[in-house]
Structure 1
Amino acid sequence: MDPFKQMGDWKKNLDQFFGENFWSEFDDIIKPNIPQINMYQSDHEVMCIVNMPGLDDLYQIDIYVDHATLELKGTIDIHHSGGTAIKEEILQGVFEREISLPFPVRADKIKATYRNGLVYIQLHRLISETSRRNKVNVHLLKDE
């Protein structure tokens, strides 16, 4: 008997009982996100450090920033052939991630660099035109 078929049947039964979105709550536990990301925030800046082992070509990763969202697309490929894998803990393959940023960022001030298997993405807080301090003039009303 095929154990994977039994697991599929078991999952299908739970989906019917709990609803189709039941498993989405466990996605991060069952299938960790790749690439892994560390994010650091200061008053006016966000630094995202993305784990990208084996990046031979900078075109293997696409980085998009839209207001308060960082989107990463690409492929992690370790490039090893020969022998049978005994242990594979380094996550690899095609990825697509969308990460919410703690605040909106400037589109004109983004810097991304790659060093030692890590992509460093430096983003700067967007200070909107409407948030500037405006002086309010006070006018004297005369008694009638």
Structure 2
Amino acid sequence: MKEPINWKKVHDDIEEVLGDDFWDEMKDVIPKRGPTIDVYCNGERVVIFAEFPGIEVENHVKLKKEGQSIILHGEIPYRYPFPKAELELSERFTGTFQRKVLIPFPFSLQKIATFQNHGLVEIHILKG
């Protein structure tokens, strides 16, 4: 498997060159496109941790297999009683999303279990 990118180092290097406020300014230029995820793998299973605060995952998130990848797709609804354009600050993602995660071994949808706890979803994928 390819060596993962050290995003913390990339973040720190960019901040060192372009200044401390670079990422705050970039939020408007490159908005968040979906849920934040972490991935754990031990060779026999992969666990994807995905943030979905305030939504019923079973109604808004779907999983599908594409080759050796799992795709999380769905919609995070906008739930405020006023137009999004009127927000003074908007950091939380709403709208449709798709996240694709490469799984380093063969798997089937039948060997996937999901758990939700306080807005954090765990997706357990077993080898085979």
TM-score of Structure 1 vs Structure 2, range by shorter chain: 0.5 to 0.7
CA RMSD of aligned residues (A): 2.2
Instruction: Tell me the equivalent position of 2:60.
Output: 60
Give distance in 1, aligned partners of 2:127 and 2:56: 31
Instruction: Tell me the equivalent position of 2:80.
Output: 80
Which 5+ residue runs of structure 2 have no aligned equivalent?
1-28
**More displaced 10-residue stretch of structure 1: 104-113 or 115-124:** 104-113
| TM-score, normalised relative to structure 1 | 0.58
| TM-score, normalised relative to structure 2 | 0.65
Q: Percent identity?
A: 23
Give distance in 1, aligned partners of 2:57 and 2:41: 28
Residue type at the aligned position of 1:119: V
Matching of residue 42 in structure 1 with residue 15 in structure 2: no
The structure with the largest alpha-carbon Rg is 1
Of 90, 93, 96, 1:91 maps to 93
Instruction: Tell me the equivalent position of 2:122.
Output: 120
Which 5+ residue runs of structure 1 have no aligned equivalent?
1-28, 127-144
User: Does the residue aligned with 2:59 lie in a helix, a strand or coil?
Assistant: helix
User: Does the residue aligned with 1:59 lie in a helix, a strand or coil?
Assistant: helix
Structure 1 residue 47: Cα displacement: 0.2
Give distance in 2, aligned partners of 1:122 and 1:57: 15
Structure 1 residue 65: Cα displacement: 2.9
Aligned length: 98
Instruction: Tell me the equivalent position of 2:23.
Output: none
User: Does the residue aligned with 1:108 lie in a helix, a strand or coil?
Assistant: helix
Query: Any conservation in 2 of the 1:40–1:46 contact (CA below 8 Å)?
Result: yes
Query: Any conservation in 2 of the 1:64–1:71 contact (CA below 8 Å)?
Result: yes
Structure 1 residue 113: Cα displacement: 1.5
Instruction: Tell me the equivalent position of 1:130.
Output: none
The 1:79/1:57 distance shift into structure 2, 3 A limit, reads: same
Give distance in 1, aligned partners of 2:57 and 2:47: 22
1:94-117 Cα offsets, whole Å, 9 max, x none, are 112222122222433210121111
Structure 1 residue 93: Cα displacement: 0.9
Query: Any conservation in 1 of the 2:64–2:71 contact (CA below 8 Å)?
Result: yes
Give distance in 2, aligned partners of 1:31 and 1:85: 15
